[in-house]
Each structure stands twice: as structure tokens, then as C-alpha cells.
Amino acid sequence: MATILDVARAAGVSASSVSNFLNDRLSKMTPATRERIEAAIGQLNYRPSQVALQLKTGKTATIGLLVPAVANPFFGAIAMAIQRAAQARGYQVILCNTFRDPQREREFAADLMALGVRGIITGSSLLNPEHLSELASRGLTVVAFEGDAAAAAPGIHVVSVDNVMVTTLAVDHLVALGHRRITYVTGPAQTAARVARLKGFRAATERHGLGDEARIHEISLPQNQYGDDMIAELGVDAALALAKTSPRPTALIAMNDLLAIGLAAGLREHGIVIPDDIAMVGIDDLFLARLMNPPMTSLRQPLSAMAEAAVDCLVADGTEAAPATSLIFAPELIVRQSTARTAG
């Protein structure tokens, strides 16, 4: 790797001049010098060492991304959106799989700080974000990519879809189709998003006066299990229980698409047909939703826009103590055949 000194020698100038060139202080040199430097850089294939640059300026062009598990297609989609947004701004992304373990999150955060990252984006915030606050107080900019503002701890920026609206739209859609016996299938209220979605479901069903026709079916995740790639399998089991309930719900809303995929597979095993026997709404609108049989209605999060906002939070954080912002995006209902028929 060529250094700035190699370039300086090749161009017959000092390292300072090359540095001036690199930092657009072009007024400090004649066009001729400028061209010589440019030529030398091209010739040597020179790229400034980010490491040296970082040590000198204290600023990195690197951000940390914490997700429970990238193997989960939802977090894969998030990781891709964040990386693209970061790249567009000249930033690199360091990937960390936390398995929803606070201890591991803390460990990663310490490593990332030692690496000098500009900030971290966390893809899923546990309900109890004090360990994130702790990071924020140590001077790290933290953006929670999930969970509403209420759940945010001090010093943490929030960029999230409106998780209350997500279930509200789902319920409204189903009620408009004539459904009343609607069951919301969810995992334990461990994350901010899950809590908000549950809240939205409760409020919407109450507003529509569904009474106890609206049900909540909570599936239990194994202890100490991040569960992300087995959520779908748990859905298969949950479908059995749901098939047996009487009266059986006419519509299901799943906490997320992965769970919905499992539910759909389980229902099919019991001869229950979607949408004829039961309607189904997923959440997240993974690319898999439109490949299901039948294609599934789901609530889409504007991931690209959200990713850009999240990265901007970190990049723009030039001003010392930027107040913790909270950006909430509206979800979009994507109607497909899993809710094609009216109830009754």
C-alpha cells in the first residue's frame, strides 16, 4: 500500500500538500502542482489509510449494526437497507448478531467503541434498554431501529415504523371485510415492537367493539432462545391449537411474516384453507409474503427510507449533544389473497 509520503515523493511535493489536495484545499496550490499530485495518486493507486485518518481525526466512517440474527430474512432485509444507505454516505457497516442477548450486546458495543465507530444502529431493542442508555451516556450515538419513542431510553434516537398503526391497519382491514372473531398471534412481550403491536391490536379491536371476539394467542419461545429462525416452526404448532379453538377465529393477524408462514403451513396440515376458512394478515411484508400460497396480505415497513434516516442520525451528529430524535414511519397495507374473501 502506497502512503501519502510515497505520493509526495512521486509528485515532488511535501506530504502536507498532498494532504491539502486530498482535503480540497485547492486554493493552496497551483493547477500544475495539483495535476502532478493527481497523477502521482493515480499512478500509485493511492488510497488514504482510513486507519491513520481515523486515529488523527477521531472520526470513523464506520457504523455498527446490531441485529438478533441476519439469517432471519427480516433482519437480512434491514441489514441490506442499512448497508446501502451507509454506503451512499461513504460509511462501512460492521455486522453483529446479538441473539437478543443483552450481555452479548454490551460486549459488541464495547468492541465497536474500541473500533471507534461513529455510532451504532440496533435492529431490535429489548424492552429494557438500559444497557443501551449506558452506551449513549458513554458518548456513543445509538439509534434504535425498532420500538416507539415511549420505550426509548434517554440519549437514544429512535427510527421505527409506527407499530401501533401496524396492527390498527390490520384490524381495520379485517373488520372492513366483515371479520369479528380476530385473533392476534404473538410471541412474549419481550421487545418494544411486540408491545406496541399488541397495544394497537387491543385499542383497535376495542374501538370496533369486538369485545371478547378479539383474542390474543401468545406462543411461548423457549427460554434463552433468540428464536428468530424457529418462530416459523412455533407457528406450525400454534396453528394446531388455533384449529381446535371453538368458535374458531375467522381471521388471524401474525406478529410477523415468519410466524405467519409457520401458521399457514400448520393450518394447511389441518385442512384449513386460507382465505376461505380463515383470513391471515402478516407483518413486515417480507419478499416471501407474495410467494406464499395464497400470497399473503401484509404490512410493509418503508425500510429504505427508515435506513436512510437511521444512518443520517449518526452521520449528521456533528453537533455535540444532538437531542435524541424520534422518527416514526407509517406502514403500508399490502392486500393480497390471504384476505381475499369477506367474512361469514
Which residues of this protein are in contact with a copy of itself, per CB under 8 A? Answer: 1, 45, 47-52, 54-55, 60, 62, 65, 69-73, 75-77, 79-80, 83-84, 87, 92-97, 110-111, 113-116, 138-139, 229, 232-233, 236, 261-262, 264-265, 268-269, 287-288, 290-293
Is the peptide bond preceding residue 275 cis, with omega within 30 degrees of 0?
yes
Cβ neighbour number for residue 14 with a 10 Å cutoff: 13
Number of residues in the chain: 344
Instruction: Find the shortest distance in angstroms from Cβ 35 to a copy of itself.
Output: 22
Q: Which of residues 49-108 bind DNA (CB under 7 A)?
A: 49, 51-53, 55-58
Between 24 and 212, CB nearer to DNA: 24
Task: Pick what 111 binds: DNA, a copy of itself, none; C-beta below 5 to 8 Å, kind-dependent.
Answer: a copy of itself
Residue 72 interface partner, choices a copy of itself, DNA, none, CB cut-off 5-8 Å depending on type = a copy of itself
Q: Which is nearer to a copy of itself, 111 or 206 (CB)?
A: 111
Q: What are the φ and ψ backbone dihedral angles of 212, each rounded to 5 degrees?
A: -85, 15
Cα 283 to its chain centre, rounded Å, is 13
Q: What does the block give as the cell for 153?
A: 431510553
CA 74 centroid distance within chain: 8
Instruction: Determine which helix (DSSP H) or strand (DSSP E) holds 66, and give its type and residue range.
Output: strand 62-67
Q: What is the DSSP letter of 278?
A: -
Q: What is the Cα–Cα distance from 133 to 117, expressed in whole angstroms?
A: 17
Please say which residue, 61 or 328, places its beta carbon nearer to DNA: 61
Residue 272 binding target from a copy of itself, DNA, none, CB below 5 to 8 Å by type: none
Tell me which of DNA, a copy of itself, none is bound by residue 321, counting a contact when its beta carbon lies within the kind-specific cut-off of 5 to 8 angstroms: none
CB of 166 to DNA, least distance (A): 44
Using CB under 7 A, which residues numbered 1 to 30 contact DNA? 1, 3-5, 13-20, 22-23, 27-30
DSSP 232: H
Under 8 Å CB-to-CB from 284, ≥6 apart: which residues? Answer: 74, 256, 257, 258, 298, 299, 300, 301
- 91: amino acid identity, one letter: Y
Residues that bind DNA (CB under 7 A): 1, 3-5, 13-20, 22-23, 27-30, 32-33, 46-49, 51-53, 55-58
